[in-house]
Structures are given as structure tokens and as C-alpha cells.
Amino acid sequence: MGKLDGKIAIITGAAQGMGAAHARRFITEGAKVVLTDVNERGGQALADELGQNARFIKHDVTSLDEWQALVADVEGSWGPIHILVNNAGILGPIADVVSIDPAEYLKVIDINQNSQVWGMKAVIPSMQKAGGGSIVNISSTAGMVVVAGAPSLAYVGSKFASRGMTKQVAVQFGKDNIRVNSVHPGFIKTPMMELATDSDGGGIADAVPLHRMAEPDEVSSLVLFLASDDSSYISGMEHVIDGALTALGAS
């Protein structure tokens, strides 16, 4: 028996990296999974690989209209939604409050922060129909501590916001048996991290007490736990997965 048997899940940013790893794990554990992304080719290829319990829907996470259409589509095809993993995100510019371009700032906030608001807004009524659910908002260690060596106002601001919104929504909707948690990964081997450094992490792994970057599937183990009934009394909390990096006081 799988940990997610009978569950309907939406995972955003699922065409690659951590989102793809989450999708694979959820399918293995018995869920029906809707993968969303703006990367149509990658998302559809993964859905085809995962089989009949996976669907890809091209989806702009910054659009509330598209969120509402997505939820209506999923409910019409498979029924009410039990799990939402708000995984989509971008790094954005390395810029402080004085130098940042307003348009670039708003783009990061739109994708990293507002998309999670619209996702929760659209999905919670469906979870209420289902009798409960689990929302996992992917934040970052940059939502726990500032990025000391690389000022990134937009990224840090959006990731701290994710953490705070998670707590607020968890308190409001606990009465509906809806749990909301945030996950705060450190250095993970993903395409986004490769763009920021190189395929080996640019030596940044040496700064981690465990002396390595994490594989995406290691984060998926935590996300699966929070999505499943194994975490039935855990809500409104941040869950750091960073090899003890933030124990040093900075990310």
C-alpha cells in the first residue's frame, strides 16, 4: 500500500528538478498527480513517463484565473484535491534594495510569493470538499536566514513571505483539517542551482557541515511525509533540510 493511495495532488514547477522528483515519488506512493509548469515539453515528457496516474497541464502560476481553471479541470477529471505542493520558483537578480530593478523585483515576488497565495486560494475550497488536505509551500533556507554572501532582496523577501503565509493559512484553516507547512531546502542538485553555480555547486558544498549538496529525492522524502497522513498532527511549521547549513547562522 502506498502512503498516498487515493489522493489527488497538484505539483507546480514539476517539469524538472525538485518538482519532478516530488512527482515521481508521489506516483510511486499511489497518488494521482497533476504536474504543472510553463515548460510544456519537459512537463509532458515526464507525465508520459509516469503513466496514466499523471497529467501535465501548462500553467502560469502567477495567474489566479489559470489557477481557478486548473482546479476546475482537476475536479472535473479526478475529483477534489487533497495535496498541493507549491514548488514553482525562481532565483531572481543578485541585487540589494538600492540597485534592484522594480520589474525584476516584482517578477520574483509574483512567481515565488504570489503564486503560492493564488494556489492556496484556489485549492482550499476543493480541499474543504475532500474533508481536508495538505499544502506544502516550498521556501528556502533564505526564508530562515539572510543570504550573507549574495544580496538578493527579492528572493529572500519572497521566501520569508512563504514561511509567514504558511503559518497564517495553517491557523485559519486547521478547523477544516487542512494542514499547511513550509519546506526550506538548502543546496540541492537542481538545474536552477547549476545556473547559479555550476554542476558541482561551485565549491559551495564545502560550506555545508555534511560536505555535500542534497539530491532532489532527499527533499521529496520530506515533502512526501508532510503530504501524507504520517504527518497528520503537523501544521504551521517550517521544515529545514540543509545538511545543518543554517545551524551556522547563515545560508
Q: At residue 201, does pLDDT exceed 60? A: no
Grid cell listed for 126: 476543493
Give the list of residues 6+ apart from residue 65 with CB closer than 8 angstroms, or none.
none
Residues assigned a catalytic role:
155
Q: Which residues are 214's β-sheet partners? A: 188
The helix-helix angle for 153-173 and 115-130 (nearest 10°) equals: 20
Size of the chain in residues: 251
For 100-125, what is each residue's pLDDT tens digit?
Answer: 999 999 999 999 999 999 999 999 99
Residue type, 152: S
Confirm whether pTM is higher than 0.85: yes
Grid cell listed for 226: 508532510
Distance CA 124, CA 146 (A): 31
CATH topology for the 8-248 domain:
Rossmann fold (3.40.50)
User: In the chain, what are the domain boundaries?
Assistant: 8-248
Grid cell listed for 240: 529545514
Distance CA 38, CA 110 (A): 14
Query: What are the backbone dihedrals phi and psi of residue 236, each rounded to the nearest 5 degrees, phi first?
Result: 75, 20
Look at residue 194 in the predicted model and tell me its pLDDT.
64
For 14-26, what is each residue's pLDDT tens digit?
Answer: 999 999 999 999 9
